[in-house]
Amino acid sequence: MDGVQMPMGPTPGPAWADVLTTWSPAWGVNVVLLVLAALYLAAARRHGGWPRRRTASFLLALVSGAVTWNSGIAVFGHQAFAVHMVMHLGLIMVVPAFWVAAHPLELLRSVLPARAGARFDAALDSRASRALFFPGTVLVFYALVIVLTHLTSFMEAMAASMALHHAEQVLYLVAGVLFFHVAIGVDLMPNRPAYFVRYVLMALAMGVDTLVGVVLMQAPATMFPAYDLEGVHLGGALMWVVGDGLMMVIMVLLGRLWVTDATAKIDFGPWLESARRDAFREQTGSGGESSDADLDDDDEALAAYNRMLTRLNRGEH
Domain boundaries, given as residue ranges, for the chain: 22-114+124-267, 270-313
Considering all CA atoms of the chain, what is the largest pairwise distance in Å, rounded to the nearest integer? 100
Q: Is 179 helix (H, G, I), strand (E, B) or coil?
A: helix
Distance CA 269, CA 309 (A): 27
Helix/strand number for the chain, H first, E second: 17, 0
Q: Is the pLDDT of residue 267 over 80?
A: no
Distance CA 34, CA 226 (A): 36
CB 226 within 8 Å of CB 78: no
Of the pLDDT bands very low, low, confident and very high (cuts 50, 70, 90), residue 5 is very low
pLDDT digits over 101-154, tens only?
999 999 999 999 989 999 999 998 899 999 999 999 999 999 999 999 999 999
Q: What is the mean pLDDT of the chain?
A: 85
pLDDT digits over 47-100, tens only?
888 999 999 999 999 999 999 999 999 999 988 999 999 999 999 999 999 999
Q: Is the pLDDT of residue 287 over 80?
A: no
Torsion of CA 87, 93, 99, 103, to 10 degrees: 170
CB 311 within 8 Å of CB 303: no
What is the number of residues in the chain? 317
pLDDT computed for residue 221 by the predictor: 87
Neighbouring-strand partners of residue 71 = 23
Distance CA 48, CA 46 (A): 5
